[in-house]
Amino acid sequence: MTPPNTSEPSACAQPGCTGHIDASGYCDECGMAAKPAAPPASAAPPSSGRASGGGLNGTPSGRTGAPSGRTGTPRASASGRLSSRTSGRSSTSRSGRSSSSTGRTSAASGSRVSGRLAERLSKRSGALEVQSSVSAASSSTRTRLGAGLVTIEPIPRPDPLTTVLDDPQVPEHKRYCSKCGDKVGRSRGDRSGRTEGFCTSCGTQYSFSPKLHRGDIVGGQYEVVGCIAHGGLGWIYLAVDHRVNDKWVVLKGLLNTGDETALQAAVNERRFLAEVDHPNIVRIINFVEHPDLTSRSMDGYIVMDYVGGKSLKDIANERRDEQGRRVALPVEQAIAYALEILPAMGYLHQRGLLYCDFKIDNVIQQDDHIRIIDLGAVCRFDHDGDIFGTKGYQAPEVPLDGPSISSDLYTVARTLAVLTFNFAYTSEYENSLPTPDEVEVLRRYESYYRLLVRATNPDPAKRFGSAEEMADQLTGVLREVLALGDGKPRPALSSLFAPEFTAVDTDVVDPDGVAEPPAARRGGGRRARVGAPALTAGAPAPGGGAVAVAGAPPSGTVPSMPGGGGLGSPPAVIRLNPWTSAFALPVPHVDPSDPNAGFLAALSATGPRELITALAAAPDDSVEKRLRELRARIELRELEAATALIRSLDRDHGGDWRVVWYRGVASLVGDDLEGAADAFDAVYDAFPGEAAPKLALAVCAELLGEIQDAAECYRLVWTTDHSYVSAAFGLARTRLRAGDRRGAVAALESVPETSSHYTQARIAAIRARLRNRAPVEPLAPDLSTAAEQLDRLDIDPGRRAGLAVEILGGALSWTLGAPGAGPASAAQQPLAGPLIGHHPDERGLRFGLEKQYRLLAHLADSADDRIELVGRANRVRPRTWV
């Protein structure tokens, strides 16, 4: 192996980075590799071996002395002042970066709905925010890489001997005093820099030389093979354990034996981590001492399992395009890594430990498993000493407030960002994220962007509350990303919302909008009375199987939106009813830890008024009891009482996401559509992996007329999970309004047969396929398909006859041609075979229509309807002698 070059390195070429490329080929600040020369086809990857215990990639990790990436942060004293050990060197200071942002914080990165709806919401004052529920964490069944959803190529374990360095040295540009941060051990003129000596600024002794050599026996059982890397707390050695079947192990020593902080960190690592036992965390085996013949002192060494493979840093840097530029990892692959990391983080948090310094250097993939390594920065929750972290990954509040669970999760989110898109994360975006306008992958996956925004919020209280909560939302985002990629749904039960029990609306086009086909009238017959109402397409009357008269929508519905137009124009699409839409949305689960959870589960009252009466007997005035009453008040449209309840809940439980959700429901019922959208958007921000807030936001956008935004939200929900049938009908409505008839039909026909709304979807598809079609269009395939679909539907005679009228009437109009336009083009493909049992010529179609009209007349309730239907049958029948 080529010895490292100790001369001054070249500057990093990454945009916005002020670091340098070290002898290993990596930047000491941003961690990215220099543009590599194209290797020979037969050449093996140079850094396929990496071991545990630090930056173990066979090369220096960039953490020596006062490292350029990782910073040890003294906690603020009681007076609020930082320790005097803070260095002025911005990239290597032990004090870390100031918590002030560059002006673009994560929260300000625009985590709102894309399009015109976002403009509406941005004009509203007092944006809503949501905090995590106390019991938001749920059990996880993830035991494999990628949550069982992503296949990633395994990385074989290399021969450990290939990781040993021939001439281990610390590059001069990484040599800094561990106390004051000044440069030490640098070249002067023709004289090479010293690897050992004293700092000229503060007099602290330094040493960058390995203390162990090949053949040394440490602790009476570990034979040293050589150095494999160095990390922020010392050299890393490969050794053989002669007492355990010559097992490969790693010894991690101190970089500078005169550094009390580094010594204490090593002692803490042994104390905290000796009992840590998680499959995704490197295992600490032992702690041993060995004499240093130079200083005549005893040096401590941590013994860890050897973990071979590749670090995420190496995996990321090997992805290059033809010009040598780094190519980001696919989002699904990066999320798969994070879903293995988060349970390990949660394991540490449950034991009162914080990792503090997570980054791409500290994770190794071996085969199809990953392991977190380099545990030197781990500390307890109540730690009051120096805090280690890395610029660009560390949360901005850590230098003053110290680390926390939320700051650990912040580092995981920053790691996801570094892996999935290129940005200046150590400079311009040190404490923020670029916007979707700047990064294509964030435009493509809005839910992923919202997750990153929440996890890196400048306010720790607004981040995810636990590793389990973040993992659950990240899993939902992964399902969405995969579904968008290949079109295959990835359904899953939500831990926050109950399943969708009913669809928001199963109508797409106005079912009452079918009039007598103009081409069906023969000359000489009795014409329809002027102003006579059109008849429904076979919808049975509420009291039985008869047909209802159109013109007066059924009770409780909202009149259809205009836009039916004439033949060839998009059909009239129904307008949603805000009240019925609000109560068709998924309902939040009851918190099982609520004092009234059992009482609420046992309630037998069905009506909202009876429910309110029953709630008076609840044993405790808990959140869930008040939320249940709130829903009942909204259902009764007692909006003033509901508003008062929301205010009291805000006062007592401000930020609870369920309160914000029901605020949106109340606003939707009260026709405050923008207020409802604002509330549901806040819930989407908090839980980007959930389908319910996207569905609710789509409903609001559709009612507001923001069709593009509504279509996108419906698409996200339906593509990911086909159990939310409301999204299929909503997607069809928005596509019809946009003039995409075929897209609307495709959405409706994608409803699976296992759905309880399959029949309604097929009926809506037939209507969407044929309604308002011009005779000059090539309708033969659509007419045949509609007839075949109708034949397979198990529906009542009234609806079947009504749909048959639509199909046969459309076929007759198409066969005869539009009024005044002459016959249909002879170049069009003719109908092949019978249509609903009738020959597809004019005579056969007229007989078919006559038959269906007479059936509808037989089912009609009123005499007027019966007379009108019989008249239509007589007018449409062909001329005969009988």
Q: What CATH code is carried by the domain that includes residue 853? A: 1.25.40
Q: Phi, psi at residue 537, to the nearest 5°? A: -80, 60
Output the six-digit token pair for 582.
């609000």
Contacting residues for 542 by C-beta, under 8 A, at least 6 apart: 548, 554
Residue 477: C-alpha distances to residues 84, 316, 380, 414, 832 (Å): 44, 21, 31, 16, 47
Residue with tokens 């530029």: 325
Is the pLDDT reported for residue 792 higher than 60? yes
**Percent of the chain, pLDDT > 90?**
52
Average pLDDT over residues 259-287: 74
Neighbours of 188 (CB within 10 A): 8
Last residue of one domain, picked from the residues 285, 309, 333: 309
User: Where in the sequence numbering do the catalytic residues fall?
Assistant: 357
Neighbours of 125 (CB within 10 A): 4
Output the six-digit token pair for 322.
């033809």
Q: What is the pLDDT of residue 233?
A: 64
Output the six-digit token pair for 36.
């590599």
Segment 701-726, tens digit of pLDDT: 999 999 999 999 999 999 999 999 99
326 domain-assigned: no
Is the pLDDT reported for residue 823 higher than 70? no
Q: What is the pLDDT of residue 378?
A: 86
What amino acid is encoded at 29 in this protein?
E
623 vs 368: CA distance, rounded Å: 44
Average pLDDT over residues 641-660: 92
Output the six-digit token pair for 190.
């023709």
End-to-end CA distance of the chain: 104
* Residue 837 CA, distance from chain mean position: 50
Residue 426 or residue 140, greater confidence: 426
Looking at the DSSP bridge assignments, the partners of residue 236 are: 229, 252
Q: For the chain, how many structural domains are there in total?
A: 2
Q: What is the pLDDT of residue 72?
A: 56
Is the pLDDT reported for residue 212 higher than 80? yes
**Residue numbers of the domain that contains 777:** 511-559+773-882
Is the pLDDT reported for residue 296 higher than 90? no
Q: In the 8-state DSSP scheme, what is residue 221?
A: T
- Residue 54 near residue 232, CB atoms below 8 Å: yes
Q: In the 8-state DSSP scheme, what is residue 45?
A: P
Contacting residues for 869 by C-beta, under 8 A, at least 6 apart: 535, 547, 853, 854, 856, 857, 860
300 vs 379: CA distance, rounded Å: 19
644 vs 658: CA distance, rounded Å: 16
What is the dihedral sign for C-alpha 633, 646, 657, 662? positive
At residue 467, the 3 state secondary structure works out as helix
Instruction: Give the orientation angle of helix 331-350 with respect to helix 405-420, to 10 degrees.
Output: 160
Contacting residues for 56 by C-beta, under 8 A, at least 6 apart: 50, 163, 228, 229, 231, 236, 250, 307, 311, 364, 373, 374
Is beta strand 70-73 parallel, antiparallel or unpaired with respect to 20-21?
A: unpaired
* Residue 249 CA, distance from chain mean position: 38
Q: What is the pLDDT of residue 522?
A: 47
The pTM (predicted TM-score) of the whole model is 0.80
Last residue of one domain, picked from the residues 283, 309, 335: 309
What is the dihedral sign for C-alpha 261, 262, 266, 269? positive
Q: Phi, psi at residue 226, to the nearest 5°? A: 160, 175
Looking at the DSSP bridge assignments, the partners of residue 231 are: 234
Average pLDDT over residues 429-449: 96
495 vs 255: CA distance, rounded Å: 47
| Residue whose C-alpha is closest to residue 196's, from 277, 105, 294 | 294
Residue with tokens 């269906």: 852
858 domain-assigned: yes
786 domain-assigned: yes
Comparing 100-114, 344-358, 555-569, which segment has the lowest mean pLDDT? Answer: 555-569
Range 222-231 burial, b when 16+ CB lie within 10 A, else e: bbbbbbbbbb
- Residue 253 near residue 211, CB atoms below 8 Å: yes
Output the six-digit token pair for 201.
């600024």
Q: What is the pLDDT of residue 377?
A: 84
At residue 863, the 3 state secondary structure works out as helix
360 falls in which pLDDT band (50, 70, 90)?
A: very high
357 domain-assigned: no
Q: What is the pLDDT of residue 12?
A: 72
Is the pLDDT reported for residue 821 higher than 50? no
Residue 737 or residue 190, greater confidence: 737
What amino acid is encoded at 633 in this protein?
R
Residue 399: C-alpha distances to residues 176, 268, 592 (Å): 20, 20, 38
800 domain-assigned: yes
What amino acid is encoded at 103 in this protein?
G
Is the pLDDT reported for residue 43 higher than 70? no
365 falls in which pLDDT band (50, 70, 90)?
A: very high
573 domain-assigned: no
- Residue 225 near residue 214, CB atoms below 8 Å: yes
Q: What is the pLDDT of residue 385?
A: 76
Residue 238 or residue 179, greater confidence: 238
Average pLDDT in the chain: 80
222 domain-assigned: yes
Is the pLDDT reported for residue 519 higher than 90? no
- Residue 249 near residue 241, CB atoms below 8 Å: yes
556 vs 235: CA distance, rounded Å: 75
| Residue whose C-alpha is closest to residue 802's, from 839, 755, 836 | 836
Segment 152-181, tens digit of pLDDT: 888 888 899 998 999 898 888 888 887 777
Is the pLDDT reported for residue 312 higher than 90? yes
Q: What is the pLDDT of residue 603?
A: 86
Residue 143 or residue 638, greater confidence: 638
139 domain-assigned: no
Q: What is the pLDDT of residue 788?
A: 94
Contacting residues for 541 by C-beta, under 8 A, at least 6 apart: 547, 548, 861
660 vs 842: CA distance, rounded Å: 59
Residue 208 or residue 697, greater confidence: 697
Average pLDDT over residues 559-585: 72
Looking at the DSSP bridge assignments, the partners of residue 594 are: none
17 vs 573: CA distance, rounded Å: 54
Residue 195 or residue 821, greater confidence: 195
**Percent of the chain, pLDDT > 70?**
74
Last residue of one domain, picked from the residues 309, 326, 348: 309
Name the strand (E) or helix (H) holding 264.
Answer: helix 260-273
Domain containing 285 — which CATH number?
A: 3.30.200.20
